[in-house]
Chain A
Amino acid sequence: MTMTKNGFAVELRAATRTYSVGRRAVTALAGVDLTAAAAEFVAVMGPSGSGKSTLLHCAAGLDRLTSGEVVIDGVRLAGLSQRRLTVLRRDRVGFVFQAFNLLPALTAAQNVALPRLLARRRVVPAEVTAALDEVGLADRAGHRPAELSGGEQQRVAIARALFTRPAVLFADEPTGALDAASGREVLALLRAAVNRRARTVVMVTHDPFAAAHADRVVWLGDGRIVDALSGPAGTREIAMRTAALEETSSLGEARR
């Protein structure tokens, strides 16, 4: 995997995204600068509607910015054709959504191998098994999503996201639909990917406990970065910061 000179796995510069709803324009992102270095785990927090998902989608090349710039693994997304963008996603980006990550018709193993199959690359069955083993599901390789629990499905999704050895893995509330125990397993897997495989992870979450697994936490509010916390932080500290931010923003609302 080639790295850019500055060593960032993903880079957003003055990222702005507006949606037009009818005649009105909704600004989901208003000039966000965010970078994630190689082997860094960044958590993105913020109230509902603050633009977290939009940020993630734009950073991952699922959506396009209105203005600003996204660079993934040294490649600028602006101006890439649909095809080139797809290939970039397939080869250098991994995803884990909150739910519906797997194709219902395929088995767990086939879902893991899917990006490689789409890239027309050879798939070694042993590698797929190893990837599933890493998330503790080697024995469920032949099962279809409908036969897996929510937590197991998320773990398969992580196995798939990591299978292509992506430059960066994006996760949008990967634990949002899970119980505490399953959530912990998923978070441990993400952390392990950073620690042991030197992957970069950008994760959106509402949960201070989840964010505590990250190396760095940034808070979004109304499409802007409103706060950041570097270095590993405890759940309590993150929760307090979040509460404080929500207070100021509701004060701000009230003043308006």
Chain B
Amino acid sequence: MRLAWQTVRHRRAAFAGTFVAIAAGVALVSGAGSLAASSRPQAPDRYDASTVAVHSPSVGQDEYGNPEYRSWTTPEAVRIASGLRAVPGVRAAVADPVFYVQRIAAGRPAGDAEASLRDGHSWPAAALGGYRLTAGRPPVRRGEVVAGDPACQGAEPCHGGASPGDLVVPGETVRVLTADGPQTWTVTGTADGPGWYVPADDALRRSSGVRVIGLLVDGDPAAVAQSVRRVVGDRGTVLAGSDRGALEPDAVSRVRWLGAQLLIAMVSLSVFVTVFVVAATCGLGAAQRRRETGLLRAVGATPGQVRRTMVAETLVVGAAAGLTGVPAGALAAPLLAGPLVRAGLEPAGFTVTAQPVAWAAAYILGVVVALAGAVVAAWRSSRVPPLEALRETAAERRAMTPARWLAGVLGAVGGTVLLALLPRVPLTQRTTAGTGAAMLLIGAAALLAPVLIGPLVRAVTWPVRRSATALLVREGTRTAARRTAATAAPALLAVAFTVLLTGMVATIEGVEGTDRAADIPAALVLAPDGAPGLAAAAVRGQPGRSALPTRVLVGHGGATEGLDAAGVDGPDRGAVLTPATAARLGLRRGDDVRLWWADGTAARVPVRAVTRDAPAGLCLPRALVREHDPVALTPVVLLDGAPVPATGARTMSARAYVQIDIDAEGRLVRLFLWVLLGLTAGYAVLAVANTMAMSTAGRRAEFRTLRLAGAAAGQAKLVAVAEALLAVVAGTLLGAVVAAVALTGVRDAVAAELQRAVPLVVPWGAASLVALVCAVAATLASVTPRLVRAETAGSGR
């Protein structure tokens, strides 16, 4: 252990790469971990005063693993709430219906469309947030409303659902858009919380059943929750303390889920890459130190001792790097909260808190990664024979081990075969298969780099084969194939991934637009304008077709599952199923679909038809859907005539309509892509710089000889820089070619399926940028060790 510590101190340059890689990895994991751990589900502010809440029962999970709830019907909710008022400690039990309200300003829906879906409340529910009247009186009759304070007391950042723009004053009327259509309400008062508050019976009529009953309690919430639980039984779930996070709206959870995906992707990538960088660094270091290892063996170190020493060295470095990385990540995390919220990856109001568990995990992970990276090199080192100490020249060892050959060739063959078979892969899996093939090819290229680099270098240097520098560079690069490959491989990987991923996304996005638009039979559509969907009034009387989406729970066998259903126009009151849905639910024509509507009502709907022509898996009469899901909004109307103007609706081409979705998706995809590519490029730079710095430092003697042989100091430097650049150029070319081949394969497969030409989009700009960054890093790194050496020579004693 002491030997390890001494060696690390002595050979700082050799361990700098490991240190930086692990520190960066640990910083990333500790930062991402802090962010992820801080992002906990949280009950909305409007339940702040309600320390205990009851949620309607969960009936299982949806396909994303989120709980699927059945709403209480209004009578059910009222009955449960009144029963709860008798429980000791319960001061109030308030059913909390929620519905869509959006203010109309200057003829258009105003404010955050998404958030307005949850802006309508019943006036008694204002008490759950501790909100009070600031002026006027409570609403009593239908058409009366208490308007929330737009400033929300200036505390939490809140969306502008209530009265964006100008303030409302009691006595005035406001124009609002609801699921029924535009309405004019009289403002009877204002409150100090966000939202719109209507009388309780009006709110219950407007919402699709009730999912939450909030309680105001006296005394210990946990104790009260316990007694409440006894009363509620299996009619609902009682939430208190941290469990109240389950009250978080789905839309907010989805945002956090997206953020978590990005964080997970970043962490996995960086852990994966860090292991490789550390392994490469340890391998190179071990190769450079074969002679020392031989001496150690000669004077009596057993193979096990050599192995332990090597591992201990890396552990020392890993431990120190962790101490740097953890605070760096922890300090950086709060700075990222703002950008994440703006990017739509964390909900508004997201703040980062101290997460000691995440820090500890990051630290341990750093140490584990260091170990994983060191193991192979240490094992190899332990097999160095003691006679190695007597070998004068550190002649280049075989760059290719049998295992490397095997893996490289298998990867190349596998990738090629997969690419060739691509036209036979089902379309849905084609991108995945294509990406897999590309990854195999890229990995193979990196593994076989030592073999491929030689000829490539000869080809690249062909034009300048006569100059002395070129000769030195060429021969140096070819004989030290391993070192060159170690420099070229990161550049290869970074460039290849950039070309492949950005190229694939761009190409597929181009295809998708035309593709999805082709699915829409109409040329023109009526789409929401500033609103989350089309109100009933906007859809009524439009020439064209539309469907009203709703979520129902369907019972089949003993199970209950959530299903997206569509409300469509039809003469009879039955259900129409596609054969697939019918088969899954075990239903035939004439059977009854046993379902619960969105408002919690149980019903039996006879199956009128099972047909492939059904526009959705389960089609139900539109009137029934509207009746049982009053908040349902229509996403789009496919027009076949001139539309009637309506508030919150606009006419656009089908192409423009699908483009809205594609753009929204594309924005996220691009964000993910750039973050991950940025990481990849960062690590590539680190790896290139590290390899160059280490090998240049290890080649002092060689350069000295070169100097003695008559090379000017500048010339020796030139050789080093040129070698570095050559390696990066070779890696870039190799990576670009492999990725371009794979990309073309994917493109051809897609084109064959669609039976039309698909333009190939190659991101030259991004690829050049990555290559340039690698080149700069390589140049700097091949020059700096000499500067560092000049310094340490002075401070040696």
Contact = CB atoms under 8 A, between A and B. Distances in A.
Interface of A: 53, 57, 62-63, 82-83, 86-87, 89-91, 95, 97, 100-106, 110, 114-115, 117-119, 144, 146-147, 160, 172
Contacts of B7: 105
A160 B298 CA distance: 12
B166 to A, nearest CB: 75
Nearest to A98: B390
27 contacts: A57-B387, A62-B385, A62-B387, A82-B303, A83-B304, A86-B297, A86-B302, A86-B303, A89-B299, A89-B386, A90-B299, A91-B300, A97-B389, A100-B390, A101-B295, A103-B3, A103-B292, A105-B3, A105-B7, A105-B9, A105-B10, A105-B11, A114-B300, A118-B299, A118-B300, A118-B302, A146-B796
Q: What secondary structure prevails in chain A residues at the interface with B?
A: helix
Interface in B1-51: 2-3, 6-7, 9-11
B796 A160 contact: no
Nearest to A92: B300
Contacts of B297: 86
Contacts of A144: 10
Nearest to B388: A62
B698 to A, nearest CB: 12
Scoring A95, A103, A160 by chain B CB atoms within 10 A of each residue's CB, the highest score goes to A103
B386 A87 contact: no
Contacts of A102: 295
Interface of B: 2-3, 6-7, 9-11, 291-292, 295-305, 385-387, 389-390, 796-797
Contacts of B304: 83
Given A100-B389, A104-B10, A115 B299 contact: yes
Scoring B296, B299, B796 by chain A CB atoms within 10 A of each residue's CB, the highest score goes to B299
Contact of A118 (B305, B385, B387, B796): B305
A83 B298 CA distance: 12
A119 B300 contact: yes
Contacts of B305: 118
A57 B390 CA distance: 10
Given A62-B387, A101-B295, A105-B11, A89 B3 contact: no
A107 to B, nearest CB: 8
A97 B300 contact: no
A10 B298 CA distance: 18
Contact of A97 (B3, B11, B390, B797): B390
A114 B296 CA distance: 9
B299 A160 contact: yes
Given A62-B386, A100-B291, A103-B292, A86 B10 contact: no
A118 B295 contact: no
Q: What secondary structure prevails in chain B residues at the interface with A?
A: helix
Scoring B9, B297, B298 by chain A CB atoms within 10 A of each residue's CB, the highest score goes to B298
Nearest to B793: A146
Given A89-B300, A89-B386, A101-B295, 13 more contacts: A62-B386, A62-B387, A83-B302, A90-B299, A90-B301, A103-B3, A104-B292, A105-B10, A110-B6, A115-B299, A117-B2, A118-B305, A119-B300
A172 B387 CA distance: 13
B10 A87 contact: no
Given A86-B301, A100-B295, A119-B300, A63 B797 contact: no
Contacts of B386: 62, 89
Scoring B292, B300, B305, B797 by chain A CB atoms within 10 A of each residue's CB, the highest score goes to B300
Contacts of A63: 387
A103 B300 contact: no
A150 B7 CA distance: 22
Given A105-B9, A118-B305, A62 B299 contact: no
B300 A86 contact: yes
| A-B complex: 7 closest residue pairs judged by Cβ atoms | A90-B300, A105-B10, A105-B7, A86-B302, A115-B300, A118-B300, A105-B6
Nearest to A93: B300
A106 B387 CA distance: 20
A221 to B, nearest CB: 22
Contacts of B300: 86-87, 89-91, 114-115, 118-119
Contacts of B296: 103, 118
Contacts of A172: 390
A89 B10 CA distance: 27
A118 B303 CA distance: 11
Contacts of A87: 300, 302
A103 B387 contact: no
A101 B296 CA distance: 10
B179 to A, nearest CB: 76
B2 to A, nearest CB: 7
B733 to A, nearest CB: 36
Contact of A95 (B10, B291, B299): B299
A75 B95 CA distance: 91
Nearest to B303: A82
